Amino acid sequence: MKHTIEVNGIKIYAFHGCLPEEGEIGGHYSVDVMLNTNFKEAAHTDELKKTVDYVDVNRIVCEEMAIRSKLIEHVGQRIINRLKSEIDTIDFIKLKVTKICPPINGDVDNVAIIIEE
């Protein structure tokens, strides 16, 4: 049996980027997290401790996004590493980090990275 939990559209203002201005001005980001886990027992018992707590997922994402990186690839991997180390019931993670209105000299809505582990 496959169980999936998604925490989508975590909106964050952060300071990632290679340009010095990005470290000073910052920008808008959105993070989506998909976790495969087994929440069969939680579904039967109605106990939060038997599943992944969305609050923990949001907290980890926000804490890692608060640490400046040049690349969203780097911050994305840090998020994955923290989720895996702090939530031991995760079988698979899909993470998407979206940088909204990136400064790339073009009319681009966003850029994103996706990591699946």
Residues with catalytic function: 99
- In three-state secondary structure terms, 4 is strand
Neighbours of 17 (CB within 10 A): 20
Phi-psi region of 18 (alpha: psi -120 to 50; beta: other; left: phi over 0): alpha
Distance CA 89, CA 46 (A): 17
- ∠ CA(21), CA(25), CA(29), 5° rounding? 110
